[in-house]
Amino acid sequence: MKNLNKIALAADLTEMDEKMLHFIKGYDSLFDFEELHIIHQIEIEELSEDLEQLLQKKNKTLEELIREEIESTVIEVFGSLKPSIHIYIQPKPDFSELVTWINNSQFDLFFLGKKKSLEGTGIFSSKMVRLLSCNLILVPETAKPLISKILTPIDFSSYTQRVLEVSELIAKNTKSEFIPLHVLKIGIRYFPFFGNEKKIQKSLQKEADSKFEKLKKKVKIQGKLLSIIAEEEPIGVAIFKKAKELKVDLIIISKKGKSDDSDLLIGSVAENLIANDKNISVAIIQ
């Protein structure tokens, strides 16, 4: 797994941009990113009167004005416009073009802000999570730019190895603790054995542990697998509860899991964890 070098941020021109830049600045001291691309899409083609007037007065295009706005936020946070910071403004409200451009740019990590109280319905973020093919991180407004504990839920699917690799990399760079988590769910297929739940749990846990031992050798990581049981609740809820309990500040998860087929652009567990009411940063690995 190579280092995270080229990162991007979707700017929305609200206070959130400043928060996100502070957050990235904090991360930067740990990862030493090489390039930061700040991306904004203009979503309208016709301007309101007020805006028209402003543009005329300033004798500038909307694009230039937005660029200035973003630049001033960058200067506020970083002190100056560093040459490693690039600003890209997509002038048309053509979302598929923006997605293609981002996917072709091959960012190592894409930062998205997640708002609870600030205005915004999150449509943009939810689209980005579904359509981008790079790794993303969703940062709630309340998050602090420091990581001390990472939770990595795994399900031993084809995505698991990659998620562990990324977790290991981030844990190493941030010198944080990294806890692999496996959620046991006793499915309906065990129905005839209902009387014997404890036994089934034990055997499931044993199976998970032995799979994890094999993975440890493959990915070269240390640590012990934490297993929890999700009774009635969805797996995502169980993971979030555990994360709160452990005071985790980053959850790293794969975009899809074992039981998600291609009918979904994003797996149900990841979907659950990025919901608006959850206030822990979530990294989604593809």
Partner 1 sequence: MKNKYLDIHPPVFWPATILIVVFITITLLVGEPMEQVFVSMKDFITDQTGWLFILVVNLFILFCIYVGFSKYGSIRLGGKDAKPEFSTSAWFAMLFSAGMGIGLLFWGVAEPVNHYANSPNHENFSPEAAQGAMNLVFLHWGLHAWGIYAVVALALAFFAYNKKMPLTIRSVFYPILGDRIKGWIGDVIDVFAVLATLFGLATSLGLGVQQLSGGLSFLFDIPNTSTTQVILIASITAIATVSVVSGIDKGVKFLSEWNIRIAAIFLIFILIVGPTLYIMRGFIQNVGTYMGDFIQVSTWTEAFRDAGWQGDWTVFYWAWWISWSPFVGMFIARVSKGRTIREFVFGVLLIPALLTFLWMTAMGGSAIYLDLQSGTHELANEIVSDSTTALFVFIQQFPFSIVGSIISLFLVTSFFVTSSDSGSLVIDNITSGGKLDSPVPQRIFWASAEGAVAAVLLVGGGLGALQTAAITTGLPFLFILIFMVYSLYKGLRSEYLQMKELEQVPDKKRYEKKLEKSLIKREEKSKKSND
* Residues near partner 1, by CB under 8 A: 12-14, 43-44, 47-48, 50-51, 54, 58, 65-66, 69, 72, 93, 95-96, 99, 119, 121, 123-124, 127, 130-131, 262-265
Say if CB 91 and CB 45 are below 8 A apart: no
Q: In the bound complex, what is the minimum distance in angstroms from residue 275's beta carbon to partner 1?
A: 17
Looking at the Cβ atoms of 123 and 188, the one nearer to partner 1 is 123
Looking at the Cβ atoms of 35 and 71, the one nearer to partner 1 is 71
**What span, in angstroms and rounded, lies between the C-alpha atoms of 109 and 134?**
7
Looking at the Cβ atoms of 150 and 285, the one nearer to partner 1 is 285
Looking at the Cβ atoms of 95 and 156, the one nearer to partner 1 is 95
Query: What tokens were used for 281?
Result: 């940063």
Looking at the Cβ atoms of 127 and 149, the one nearer to partner 1 is 127
Q: Give the max Cα distance, the chain.
A: 77
Q: In the bound complex, what is the minimum distance in angstroms from residue 88's beta carbon to partner 1?
A: 17
Q: How far is CA 100 from CA 35, 106, 128, 255, 286, in A?
A: 19, 10, 11, 19, 16
Say if CB 129 and CB 186 are below 8 A apart: no
Q: In the bound complex, what is the minimum distance in angstroms from residue 50's beta carbon to partner 1?
A: 6
Looking at the Cβ atoms of 245 and 263, the one nearer to partner 1 is 263
